[in-house]
Amino acid sequence: MIYSLSRRTVLAMFGAAALPSLSFAAASPESPEDSKFRDLARQWLDGTLRLSPVFATAIGEHRYDHELDDVSQAGRRARAQFRDQTLSGLAAIDRARLSRANQVDAAMLDNQLRFDKWDDEVFQSWAWDPQGYTELAGDSIYLLVAREFAPLPDRLRSATARMEKLPMLLAQSRAALDPARVPLIHAQTVSKQNGGIVQLVDGVILAQANALPAAERKALHRAAARLKDAVIEHQAWLDKTLVPNARGDFRIGAKFYDQKLAFALNSPMSRQEIRKAAQDAFDATRAKMYDIARNVLKDKPDAPPAPANPTDAQQQAVIAAALELAYAEKPARDQFVQACKDAVVKTTAFVREKDLITLPDAPVKVIETPKFKQGVAGAYCDSPGPLDKGQETFVAVDPIPADWTEAQVDSYLREYNSRNIHELIVHEAMPGHYVQLWHANQYPSVLRAILASGSFVEGWACYAENLMAEQNYLDGDPLYILVHLKLNLRSILNAILDQAIHVDGMSREEAMKLMTEKAFQQEREAAGKWTRAQLSSTQLPTYFVGMTEHGNLRLEAENRWGKDFSLKRYHDTVTSFGSPPVRYVRALMFEEAVD
């Protein structure tokens, strides 16, 4: 379950665009410093639009749908110059004189700009992480056809223009990447994903080519043919040059990890504090699971001993035995996606009945993950950008690979059993990412939507899981609660694993043992998480950190508001500020200083 908000995918998912008509959070009456900040923010958004047209498409600004990003050295220089100019302009603004809303936006913009500078000059992911180029290439086409934001012929014309430019982008990516610095897992993953571009062209673009007049249809076919040749050429480079020569270390080490973590979380919690808090939460959650498992297994024949004060081995055996009852109820191999669709209906009805939060007026749809994105997350929420009003949100779910053995399929479906599917949809859709991001897109500052906090977004989705269990979803079924706590355990373990792998050098064997034994994950889920942990860093802690911060914020609101507290009031308020770090939401909610 993922809603990735790394530096690369923040922009890839939300883009960065502005038009003269776009609104910003402004003081009333507006101070001179607020006016300066508003102008600076508009300039940054406009400049990023010009430099990143694929990102602009993602947020719903479609003037540059026919253009493509320049990922050459010259393109990087242009972006760096523009970024440094913005940083200088931001430093000249007295933030103490800004409105509280603009103080938040200024702090978020400053964090993002410094993150970008660090990534560009120090971390240099552009030289060793090929995933960004693959995502950019795939999204440049996919975003044009995923949603009906304009008539189909117009979108196909833009697709033609971008397909004509994509061979250059692929060539630029080859020039930028240093195979010796690329980790093998990154090279292998991108090699598998590359063909998804052709799948998009054949299965979506060319399949609708008849919507164009004859001359434009011929141009589209020519562009598609050249792109396919370019993808074949790129595949040959991936397989014969990149993969054989990929010798980079996927572990980023303590120095880079701590620096990146500070940017990614924008939270006062340090790596060491996160580790201790996560370990404490992990142990407490296992204790809760044991109490539930004891009751589930009570009076069942052949149940393992379940004393009040168990040994570690007894605790392990009892929880595992109870979970087996949940694993027994799972969808058929070809019914997994349909089961996710059914869960959307059920969770929506429950949230509406309980009146937990104002619900979106835009649709959500479960789809199979496009091939060029498969093999990393398993599932994710793809929300429309803040300017694409009324467009569908997609919950993308990886299909079960055709080459998996029956044992692998069984392992996966034991993990994503019938109850866990509900938990997945709660997280990704209702009342998780789909609902929260819809609320976020109502906030007038497009800037804040673009700079969304990963820990706020992922933390909300984990909070949503806790909320549904608390409200007795599925009639408080104890096996559902047990599965829910197992998912909590996974979110907590994410924070431990990420730093243990990247900083402490945890091996695959050690990670798999921790996941499959102590966290009760199935082999396929654990193997996928190991791959994901190698391909990313500092994103996995966002779940636990955000969940902790959201839980603490609600407790504070209950204490402060007293008899005036209601869940709907609280949820509508928390989600009304966009997706800033939770500490900024707290400051805005309780009218305290923004620090």
**Distance of CA 150 to CAs 106, 229, 428, Å?**
33, 29, 26
Is it the case that residue 13 has pLDDT exceeding 60? no
- Between CA 373 and CA 220 the distance in angstroms is 24
Q: How far is Cα of residue 553 from the mean position of the Cα atoms in its chain?
A: 22
Residue 552 belongs to a domain? yes
Distance CA 542, CA 576 (A): 20
Give the number of domains in the chain: 2
From CA 38, how far away is CA 45, in angstroms rounded?
11
C-beta separation of 364 from 395 below 8 A? yes
Q: Would you say residue 325 has pLDDT above 60?
A: yes
pLDDT at 340 over 60: yes
Answer yes or no: is 269 within a domain: no
Q: Identify which of 294, 279, 527, 282 has the alpha carbon closest to the alpha carbon of residue 415.
A: 527
- Is residue 333 domain-resident? no
315 occurs within a structural domain: no
pTM: 0.89
Of 250, 279, 304, which residue constitutes the final position of a domain? Answer: 250
Contact 505, 251 (CB under 8 A): yes
Last residue of a domain, one of 250, 270, 296: 250
Domain boundary among 194, 220, 250: 250
How does residue 376 score in pLDDT terms, banded at 50, 70 and 90? low
pLDDT in tens, 197-208: 999 999 999 999
Q: Is residue 390 part of a domain?
A: no
Residue 210 in any domain: the answer is yes
Give the pLDDT confidence of 394-447 residue by residue, as tens digits.
898 888 888 889 998 898 898 889 999 999 999 999 999 999 999 998 998 889
Residue 412's pLDDT is what? 87
Lowest mean pLDDT among 271-280, 377-386, 409-418: 377-386
Q: Give the domain extent around 107.
A: 7-250
More confident residue, 411 or 35: 35
Q: Residue 157 pLDDT > 60, yes or no?
A: yes
- The pLDDT tens digits for 134-155 are 999 999 999 999 889 999 999 9
Helix spans in 429-581 (H): 433-440, 446-450, 454-470, 478-502, 508-513, 523-535, 541-561, 567-574
438-494 pLDDT, tens digit each:
999 899 888 988 899 999 999 999 999 999 999 999 999 999 999 999 999 999 999
Q: Are 304 and 324 in contact (CB under 8 A)?
A: no
- Residue 470 forms part of a structural domain: yes
Residue 274 token pair: 């996160």
Output the pLDDT for position 378: 73
